[in-house]
Structure 1
Amino acid sequence: MVKVWWLGHAAFLIEGSKKVVVDPFITGNPLSPVKVEDIKVDLVAVTHGHGDHLGDAVEIAKNNDVPIVCIHELSRILAKKGVEAVGMNIGGTAKVNGVKVTMVKAVHSSDVEEDDTIISAGDPAGFVIEIDGVRVYHCGDTDVFLDMQLIGELYKPDVMLVPIGDWYTMGIEAAAKAVELVKPKVAIPMHYNTFPVIEKNPEEFKKAVEERGLDVKVVILKPGEFYEI
């Protein structure tokens, strides 16, 4: 059994025989139910360089003496911060600290800010993370795109973590279409209600998925709750 814990915003802890934290935006996240020092993991995964996703990745990696897996360009930036950064690229699959990770496309932007300078951090990405035979697709920040159908066909995710907040990502209707393309067993909404500009009612997302007649279970978590599969 694998537990998928929501830590608010786009931050998730995926827990089985290995533990992975994705996009650990903890400090400054008003919805975070945990503190940085509480997070014990085997791997950190970061979808892109924006501060609400890169978050506390460096500190968590150092605290746990574990690597950060991310896009190649971002890995070069993070390596200068004294952590082991494992760079990948879109379409690649790697086993990192015993965890199978596939990097997939996302439609967004990505940069980091250092000393008041904006630095390109490569392309944004999503991840399909496999632990104990359970595959979790974290979409990252993205719009819907037709190649999501290929992600569903190739990697057959059991759980899809899908942004619904609009403004910076797709909104509810587009997110429901994304679920239709991927066809996971379970869809969990994320990236909403952290800040006023992305306030959304997840029940509307659940309704939009149900209206499409999909054989997909929509699970709405509160920060600090988990779904077990």
Structure 2
Amino acid sequence: MTIRHDGITAEWLGYATLKLSDGETTVYLDPGRYGVLTGEWEPDTPGVGHPKTRDYAPKDGDIVCVTHIHHYDPDGIRRVASDDATVVAFEGINVHQSDRDLDRLADLDYEVRKVGMEDELLVGDVPIWTMPAYNREDGPNVDANGDPHHPKGIGCGFLVALDDTRVFWPGDSDVLPGHAELDVSLFVPSISQSYTMDRHSAADLAAEMDPDLVLPIHYNTFTALEADDEAFAADVAGRRVPVVLDRD
């Protein structure tokens, strides 16, 4: 399903993959992994709310943003990126830190612009800002040893201004200081039950941020990410913040 909002369209394609377009420029965030773009994804729980899998390779992306190593999928990038696309990727992506066989960013056949946790850049006429993305050491998203699943420095979130509509994807992150103060039109949080902010903290942040629309993604792809999106939507709507669900 395609969501229309304030001059742009947004479509959750599965897992963390989000497509944005204003009719002239197309932006993808964290494309691929787990078969969501190859037609191979199957839910762990039958009937779970998530976009249906499909063999998706439009190669129409002008900009492709990648938050961190867990969402870095060279095949996913190649499926969505046009020949002259610009890949904006977190500078800390190190393929040697993954158990997957991955091409290096330097080996991609695209212009690659590396970014840190607090950068500002212009790609074509699209302003992009990065924000820190991590799990707090004193938060719930830690392993058995007490270490964060996503330690500070592992990645970033993206704030993209497309046709003057500001879209914020926090990446794999807890709610962090500064998030609530961002000027956001379309807020696209993860609401998974683990690894990131959950539906409760995402709803609290939405109420503080007061965006024009909330579209949750990054949930129900597999068991550890399962979430009650209808309860999330009811919670957010109850705080007088517009919200929409994009899943099958």
The offset of 1:135, in angstroms, is 0.8
The percentage of counterpart residues that share the same residue type is 26
Greater shift in the superposed pair: 63-72 or 159-168? 63-72
Match in the other structure for 1:20: 27
176 and 27 in structure 1: CA distance in 2 versus 1, 3 angstrom threshold: closer
The offset of 1:196, in angstroms, is 1.8
Please give the alpha-carbon distance, in whole angstroms, between the structure 2 residues aligned to 1:91 and 1:75.
19
1:72 aligns with 2:83: no
Match in the other structure for 2:162: 131
Match in the other structure for 2:244: 219
1:169 aligns with 2:160: no
196 and 61 in structure 1: CA distance in 2 versus 1, 3 angstrom threshold: closer
Give the conservation status (yes or no) of the 8 Å contact 2:64–2:81.
Answer: no
1:207 aligns with 2:213: no
The offset of 1:95, in angstroms, is 0.9
Please give the alpha-carbon distance, in whole angstroms, between the structure 1 residues aligned to 2:242 and 2:125.
29
1:163 is paired with a residue of what secondary structure? coil
Give the conservation status (yes or no) of the 8 Å contact 1:176–1:209.
Answer: yes
TM-score (norm 1): 0.79
The offset of 1:101, in angstroms, is 0.9
Give the conservation status (yes or no) of the 8 Å contact 1:26–1:34.
Answer: no
Give the conservation status (yes or no) of the 8 Å contact 1:100–1:131.
Answer: yes
Paired amino acid for 2:220? N
165 and 95 in structure 1: CA distance in 2 versus 1, 3 angstrom threshold: same
Equivalent residue for 2:220, pick from 183, 187, 193: 193
91 and 144 in structure 1: CA distance in 2 versus 1, 3 angstrom threshold: same
> In the TM superposition, what whole-angstrom CA distance separates every residue of 1:114-166 from its partner, at most 9, and x where no partner exists?
xxxxxx9x53111111111111111111111232123x2xxx11000010012
> In the TM superposition, what whole-angstrom CA distance separates every residue of 1:191-220 from its partner, at most 9, and x where no partner exists?
111112222221110122234x2x410111
Structure 2 unmatched ranges of 5 or more:
1-6, 42-50, 96-103, 137-150
Greater shift in the superposed pair: 173-182 or 57-66? 57-66
Please give the alpha-carbon distance, in whole angstroms, between the structure 1 residues aligned to 2:200 and 2:78.
36
Give the conservation status (yes or no) of the 8 Å contact 1:47–1:124.
Answer: yes
19 and 81 in structure 1: CA distance in 2 versus 1, 3 angstrom threshold: closer
TM-score (norm 2): 0.74
The offset of 1:63, in angstroms, is 5.1
1:2 aligns with 2:8: yes
2:69 is paired with a residue of what secondary structure? coil
Paired amino acid for 2:84? D
Please give the alpha-carbon distance, in whole angstroms, between the structure 2 residues aligned to 1:143 and 1:175.
9
Give the conservation status (yes or no) of the 8 Å contact 1:10–1:190.
Answer: yes
Structure with bigger RCO (C-alpha 8 Å, 6+ apart): 1
Match in the other structure for 1:54: 72
40 and 138 in structure 1: CA distance in 2 versus 1, 3 angstrom threshold: same
